[in-house]
Structure 1
Amino acid sequence: MADDGAAAPTTTVEKIVHTYPLVRHTDMSEEMRNEAVELTVTACEKFSQNNELAARMVKEAMDKKFGPAFHVVVGESYGFEVTYECTTICYIYFGGNQAICIWKCS
C-alpha cells in the first residue's frame, strides 16, 4: 500500500467544562439558593483536591445560617435518593463533572 499523502479525517471530541455553577434541580428559596451556590463555588475552588473538606465547609455554613440538619455530598459519579424537607434541596454541577447535592432533613 502506497501512502498518497491524504490523511484519514479524525474526529476529536472536546470535553465541555463549565466554569460556572450549573443548578440542575432546586426548590430552595432565592436567598437560600444564592447562598448555597456561592458557598459551593467557594468551597470547591478552595478544596479542589479534597471533596470531604468542601462538603464540610458548605454544611457548616448552611447549618449556621439556616439551622441544623443540612447534608452535603460533593463528588463525581454517584447516584442518590434522599428524603428531605420541602424547599431545602439543591443539586449543582461545578467544574465540569463535579456534582454537589445539598439537602436538609428534619
Structure 2
Amino acid sequence: MSHIKGLTPPPQVKSLSIVNRDDTTIVGKNTSRVHFQTTSLSKMGRAFTHPLIQDCNMPSEIRMEAVYLAMVSCERYKKDYKKIAKDLHVRLMKKFGGDWNIIVGENFGLQIAYDPKSLLYMYCGIDIAICIWKSL
C-alpha cells in the first residue's frame, strides 16, 4: 500500500499488516500531523482497524500509550461509547495522573481549551472518533 507524502488518508483506509502494541504503520505525513494506522488480530481471528490519528500534539511516549489504551477500550466495549470513554478516562488517570477528558462518538464537533501538548484526536476503526485532552 503506497501513500503520497502530504496526502491525508481517509478513515476507511485499512492496513493489511499485523502489528503489536509498540508498532505502528505510518500512512501519511505533513508538517502539522502524522497519521498512523495499526491493525491487531483478536483471539477469534478477526482483524480490527484501530486509531487513525487526525491531530496530536502529545509527546510520543504518551501518544503511543494513549493510542494503545484506546485500542484496548474500543476492542473491549465495541460500540458502547460511554463505557469506552469511562474506561479510557480511568486508565489515563492511573497511568499519567491529572484531569483527562474524553469524547467518544460518531459525529461531534468541539472547541476546547486544553493543556499544551495533551491533545489527541483519532478514529478507532472506521466510524468511532475519540478526542482526548488534559484540562488546564
Given that 1:17 and 1:95 are in contact with CA atoms closer than 8 Å, whether structure 2 keeps it comes out as no
**Which structure 2 residues correspond to residues 44-55 of structure 1 after superposition, within 5 A?**
44-55=74-85
Q: What is the TM-score normalised by the length of structure 1?
A: 0.81
Aligned length: 92
One-letter code aligned to 2:115: E
Question: In structure 1, what residue type is equivalent to 2:93?
Answer: D
CA–CA distance in structure 2, aligned partners of residues 85 and 63 of structure 1: 15
**Identity between Structure 1 and Structure 2 (%):** 35
Partner of 2:7: none
Cα RMSD, aligned residues only: 1.5
| 1:20, distance to aligned residue in structure 2 (A) | 2.9
Larger Rg: 1
More strand by share: 2
Q: Does 1:21 align with 2:73?
A: no
1:42 counterpart residue number: 72
| Structure with greater helix percent | 1
Q: Find 2:89's aligned residue among 44, 54, 59.
A: 59
Separation of aligned partners in 1, 2:115 and 2:130: 17
The code of the aligned residue for 2:77 comes to: F
Give 5+ residue unaligned stretches, structure 2. Answer: 1-11, 15-48
SS at structure 2 position matched to 1:60: helix
Structure 1 unaligned spans of 5+: 1-15
Residues 52-89 of structure 1: per-residue CA shift (max 9 Å, x gap): 11111111111111112100011111111110000000
Note if 1:74 corresponds to 2:107.
no
Structure 1 Cα separation of the partners of residues 69 and 116 of structure 2: 21
Equivalent pair of 1:89/1:102 in contact (CA under 8 Å): yes
Q: Which 4+ stretches in 1 moved above 2 angstroms?
A: none
User: What is the TM-score with the length of structure 2 in the denominator?
Assistant: 0.64
Query: Secondary structure of 1:23's partner?
Result: strand
Structure with bigger RCO (C-alpha 8 Å, 6+ apart): 1
